[in-house]
Amino acid sequence: MKTFFISLAIGLIAAVIDTVPMIIRKMDNFFIISAFCTWIILGLFIPQINFVTIPFINGIIVAVLFVLPMSFLIYKLDHKGLPAVIITTIVLGCAVGFFSKMFVK
């Protein structure tokens, strides 16, 4: 149960980091809620899924695979925003993978 709450906290921190700029830019609330929920769930999933043994690369892989289906919708709604989503996914996926290895496993 301790690892669940640590994973949840890591996901929560990533969610806040991702959504604060969205709130500042006054983006649609559904985009903000979607991003927030995505990082909470990724905070729980990344420590449990092991594609590779290097934690930060594993975090990137899991995050990109998780966000990939949403990227098509993002591209359709705002193709200029997709690069920012991809960069944020890679950076936060790396961080969640790294901190998950440090604190969860």
Tens-digit pLDDT profile for residues 28-75: 999 999 999 999 999 999 999 999 999 999 999 999 999 999 999 999
Contacts of 45 (CB under 8 A, 6+ apart): 62, 66
96 and 10 Cβ atoms separated by less than 8 Å: yes
Domain assignment of residue 24, given as a range: 2-103
Structural domain total, the chain: 1
Q: Residue 42's pLDDT is what?
A: 98
Does 82 score more than 80 pLDDT? yes
- pLDDT-derived band at 1 (thresholds 50, 70, 90) equals confident
Q: What is the pTM of this model?
A: 0.92
pLDDT at 105 over 70: no
Query: Tokens 């994973």 label which residue?
Result: 7
Q: Which of 92, 86, 90 is nearest to 14 (CA)?
A: 92
